[in-house]
Amino acid sequence: MSDATQGPEVIMITGASAGVGRATARAFARRGARVGLLARGREGLEGARQDVEKLGGRALAVPTDVADPAQVEAAASAVEETFGPIDVWVNNAMVSVFSPVKQMEPEEYRRVTSVTYLGTVYGTLAALRRMLPRDRGTIVQVGSALAYRGIPLQSAYCAAKHAIQGFCDSLHCELIHDKSRVRLTMVQMPALNTTQFGWVKSRLPRKAQPVPPIFQPEVAAEAIVWAAHHDRRSLMVGWPTVEAIVGNKIAPGLLDVYLAHTCFDAQMTGEPEDPGRPDNLWEPVDAGHDRGAHGTFDRRSSDTSWQLWANMHRGWLAALAGSGLAGLACVALLNRRRR
């Protein structure tokens, strides 16, 4: 991680052209960072590059399919040649398919796994090749509540996020064994108002939506930037994420039944889906159009999370609570003595 003597931080973000990646690029740019932007869509990458430079950072946009490890490695080399050693690597790229399992095709599972899971692995490997010899740096995996609790109609994506979680468990152990100062953290996200719902491959009869309550991608970006600079193994974002993860630990069977009855309609709007619309599973669909960070659910999305604020300030809150309890104990003791 950079400090004042090393100059601005160098950040690598996959899936940087839209959604969470785009919002995260902007957040790091406000800190004056040098940002490597990786994604497939050239229009979105160019928009992200302009965003970063308008906000005070510098950017290098590298068109990359993270399912190809050679492309990921080449992008990492290009960014380091331009900006110097990478301090923070954010693995965010993803694709998904909204579909019942019984209608999924084998190649769709393969593609979602290649991008969402293996893309994270390839990014992590490229980061480790550079960070381990220096004995510094941070890898941030963009996770999800769905890394712990699968839901209907998103089996490929849920499985990929579960795989990232298991991969991180293994890597944490190895970094500890090697006494490495390279940090690894996973940020578990709630439902977010991103662009994916307008271009994800879908077999649903109505248009896909994030399961409410919905948060803006800037909430996710705030969490990612914070996690990159604090020693936290994982960070849960939003109360719905806490509910899903904790609830699944306590009563997974009951959650199966609840989601079976509620989570089909909750993932769809009232508008019919166009079965012939383009999707981004195999190729980017932003030709001629930069979609930015936000999806179409602005009016229903929150730009703050009290749970995230409390999570990021839990040390301070614990100290405050401890001081309050100590104060109450002193009052009680004084009252006893007066008697």
Per-residue model confidence (pLDDT) at position 314: 77
Per-residue model confidence (pLDDT) at position 68: 98
Per-residue model confidence (pLDDT) at position 5: 45
Place of tokens 């979602």: 112
> Considering the chain, what is the average pLDDT of its residues?
93
Q: Report residue 270's pLDDT band, with 50, 70 and 90 as the boundaries.
A: very high
Give yes or no for residue 283 having a pLDDT over 70: yes
Average pLDDT for residues 194-202, to the nearest whole number? 96
Of the listed ranges 266-270, 277-281, 326-330, the one predicted with least confidence: 326-330
Q: Please, which residues bridge with residue 326 across strands?
A: none
**Among 24, 33, 35, which Cα is nearest to 2's?**
33
Instruction: Evaluate whether 15 touches 21 at the Cβ level (below 8 Å).
Output: yes
**Among 255, 96, 240, 256, which Cα is nearest to 160's?**
96
Alpha-carbon distance of 77 to 80, in angstroms, equals 5
Give yes or no for residue 90 having a pLDDT over 60: yes
Average pLDDT for residues 253-282, to the nearest whole number? 96
Please give, one letter per residue, the 3-state secondary structure of the chain: CCCCCCCCCEEEEECCCCHHHHHHHHHHHCCCCEEEEEECCHHHHHHHHHHHHHCCCEEEEEECCCCCHHHHHHHHHHHHHHHCCCCEEEECCCCCEEECHHHCCHHHHHHHHHHHHHHHHHHHHHHHHHHHHHCCCEEEEECCHHHCCCCCCEHHHHHHHHHHHHHHHHHHHHHHHCCCCCEEEEEECCCECCCHHHHCEECCCEEECCCCCEECHHHHHHHHHHHHCCCCCEEECCHHHHHHHHHHHHCHHHHHHHHHHHCCHHHEEEEECCCCCCCCCCCCCCCCCCCCCCCCCHHHEECCCHHHHHHHCHHHHHHHHHHHHHHHHHHHHHHHHHC
Instruction: Evaluate whether 6 touches 86 at the Cβ level (below 8 Å).
Output: no
Per-residue model confidence (pLDDT) at position 164: 98
Place of tokens 């590059």: 49
Per-residue model confidence (pLDDT) at position 332: 55
Average pLDDT for residues 17-26, to the nearest whole number? 98
Average pLDDT for residues 183-203, to the nearest whole number? 97
- The strand pair at 201-202 and 97-98 is best described as parallel
Residue from 109, 122, 157, 258 carrying the catalytic annotation: 157
Q: Report residue 313's pLDDT band, with 50, 70 and 90 as the boundaries.
A: confident
Alpha-carbon distance of 281 to 291, in angstroms, equals 16
Alpha-carbon distance of 127 to 205, in angstroms, equals 41
Q: Please, which residues bridge with residue 39 across strands?
A: 63
Alpha-carbon distance of 138 to 136, in angstroms, equals 7
Per-residue model confidence (pLDDT) at position 292: 93
Instruction: Evaluate whether 17 touches 64 at the Cβ level (below 8 Å).
Output: no
Give yes or no for residue 333 having a pLDDT over 90: no
Average pLDDT for residues 68-81, to the nearest whole number? 98
Give yes or no for residue 263 having a pLDDT over 90: yes
Q: Report residue 7's pLDDT band, with 50, 70 and 90 as the boundaries.
A: confident
Active site residue 157: yes
Average pLDDT for residues 197-222, to the nearest whole number? 97
Residue-wise pLDDT tens digits, 49-63: 999 999 999 999 999
* Residues counted in the chain: 339
Average pLDDT for residues 219-224, to the nearest whole number? 98
Give yes or no for residue 309 having a pLDDT over 80: yes
Give yes or no for residue 322 having a pLDDT over 90: no
Per-residue model confidence (pLDDT) at position 242: 95
Sequence-distant (6+) residues with CB within 8 A of 155 are 99, 101, 104
Per-residue model confidence (pLDDT) at position 174: 98
Percent of all residues in the chain with a pLDDT value above 70, rounded to a whole number: 90
Give yes or no for residue 317 having a pLDDT over 90: no
Alpha-carbon distance of 126 to 119, in angstroms, equals 11
Average pLDDT for residues 125-145, to the nearest whole number? 98
Alpha-carbon distance of 75 to 123, in angstroms, equals 10
In order of start, what are the domains of the chain with their CATH numbers?
10-304 (3.40.50.720)
Q: Report residue 339's pLDDT band, with 50, 70 and 90 as the boundaries.
A: low
